Amino acid sequence: MAYAKQANPMVAAGDGPGIRAIRSLEEEERDIIQRAYNSHRPQQQFKNNYCIDMFHRGETANGITITSMTGEEVDDTCGAYVTAHDKKELEQLVYKIAGDRIVQDYGFIVAPANSTLYQHFHNDYSNTLSTYWIPLVDLTSRNAPQFIPNFVGDPTEGEKMFGSEFTLMENEGLLGMVVAQTICRAFTLVYMAPRTIHRGIPNGEKYDRPMFYIEMDDEPYDSDNDFSENTSTEA
């Protein structure tokens, strides 16, 4: 497949914090993501949000993740469903989208239909970490992640948790704040800029909300860091 050159996300999306729709995926790109997701569906038996880490990094992402599968576990339990050709195509797509940034992690985050888990508002792991999301279904006001567009976080020592809406406001001395969402159709490439304060919300739709993600940074972060603490709350 011949890919169009991917624009630098820091230029295409702007320098400020936020979550922005960049472009619709091409049909072949959609097929690659969908095949990878379908190959893991036999493992999806969880009530609440969970993660499938396909990068062999092995940590459990904070907040939205109830359980995760490391890359080795994915290979062991899903090997019969994932062909080497599909894996190679997926990896090629990941690195093409990431461009010259270093890929830190990629996989799927799934919010089952009518799940009730809120994340706390938080930053991801460094001041320079950015993320691409590719939802496999429509993102609506009932299932799209929330973010604070006019407030930049500064996670100087790894991931920073800000708590609930009012906890964040009280701790930061805010009288009020704007909370936003990016609504888009399935298979839209969505970019989250570094230091964006955001959270996953309960999935109020009647369908599961799987999203493929690619985390990128300027340099690798410490693989010994433990991001496994669950700081989510029920709706």
- Residue 111 forms part of a structural domain: yes
Q: Structurally, how many domains does the chain consist of?
A: 1
The gap between the terminal CA atoms of the chain, to the nearest Å, is: 43
Query: For the chain, what is the largest distance between any 2 Cα atoms, rounded to a whole number of angstroms?
Result: 54
Residue 221: predicted pLDDT: 53
60-108 residue pLDDT tens? 333 333 333 333 333 333 333 445 667 788 889 999 999 888 888 888 8
- Residue 228 forms part of a structural domain: no
Task: Write the CATH number for 91.
Answer: 2.60.120.620
- Residue 114 forms part of a structural domain: yes
Instruction: Check pLDDT > 80 for residue 33.
Output: yes
Of the candidates 115, 87, 94, the residue with the CA atom closest to the CA atom of residue 213: 94
101-132 residue pLDDT tens? 888 888 888 888 888 878 888 888 777 889 99
- Residue 88 forms part of a structural domain: yes
Kindly report the average pLDDT of the chain as a whole number. Answer: 73
- Residue 139 forms part of a structural domain: yes
Residue that has been written with the tokens 């996953």 in this structure: 200
- Residue 234 forms part of a structural domain: no
172-231 residue pLDDT tens? 788 988 999 999 999 999 999 988 889 888 899 999 999 999 999 876 555 444 333 333
- Residue 2 forms part of a structural domain: no
Who's near 65: CB < 8 A, 6+ residues apart? Answer: 49, 50, 51, 109, 230
The residue range of the domain holding 69 is: 9-219
Residue that has been written with the tokens 């994915």 in this structure: 74
- Residue 226 forms part of a structural domain: no
